[in-house]
Structure 1
Amino acid sequence: MRSHSALATAAGALMLVLAVPGSAWAATGQFRYSYQTADGYDAVGFINNPPSRTCIDIQGAGSDGTSAAYAPKNLTDATATVFLERGCAGDVYYSLRPGAGASDRLLVRSVVFS
């Protein structure tokens, strides 16, 4: 009889794990960055509750092939690793802990959250 209750408990635990929504694999909060529009105006972009372990190319950054976003602020609960290149590629990257921001000198085109 004990093996049946242990099996039922294990099955129940597995169902709970499978029932966790996809948002459990997302950072909670907002990632902000500044960029310059095609018209030369400064703008602020943001990503709300970004998915974890997925590379995100930053909108507005580098769409013309030259400019990058700058001054990222990680207001999420996960570590954000920002990259100079699109596609989270290249050797130039920087990690921002939750709640941290960087200066205007830090240029970014993509980001991935832990």
Structure 2
Amino acid sequence: MKLRSTLGACLGALTLVLSLSGSAQAAEGNFHYKYVDGHGQEQYATLHDPHSGKCINLYAVGDDDDLPGYGPHNQTDTPVTVYVNANCSGPEWRLKANGAPAKDTLEVRSVRFDAP
């Protein structure tokens, strides 16, 4: 009887561990960019611990009809690809993890952080 209880507990623990390994991954840290709002004022936006491996259209600039964001700064632990167009399309540039801010001439509408 003890063998069955022990075996059941081990199988339960294994199931729990396997179910946790499929959870979503995120870059750790902050990704910043600038944009001009509808009143012509420069604003700053931040993604905190952004999801990795999926395309993210950025707030206030993630539509091709909006003015693009600019001056991205990757302060996460994960490299990121920034895209000039929405939906991670068009010209792209790679920014290394914990890198220096890009120049304001680098425009951005969407990003994809490397999956771990």
Instruction: Read off the aligned partner of 1:19 and give its amino acid letter.
Output: L
Instruction: State the TM-score, normalized to the length of structure 2.
Output: 0.79
Instruction: Read off the aligned partner of 1:107 and give its amino acid letter.
Output: E
Q: Where is the strand percentage greater, Structure 1 or Structure 2? A: 2
Q: Which runs of 5+ in 1 are unaligned?
A: none
Distance 1:62 1:88 in 2: 10
1:46 aligns with 2:32: no
Shift >6 Å, 4+ stretches? none
Count of aligned residue pairs for this structure pair: 104
What does residue 16 of structure 1 align with? 17
Deviation of 1:61 after TM superposition, in Å, equals 1.1
- Aligned-pair identity in percent equals 31
Q: Which runs of 5+ in 2 are unaligned?
A: 1-6
Alpha carbons of structure 1 residues 16 and 62: separation in structure 2 relative to 1, 3 Å: closer
Instruction: State the TM-score, normalized to the length of structure 1.
Output: 0.80
What does residue 36 of structure 2 align with? 36
Deviation of 1:19 after TM superposition, in Å, equals 1.8
- Measured on the aligned residues, the alpha-carbon RMSD in Å equals 2.2
What does residue 97 of structure 2 align with? 98
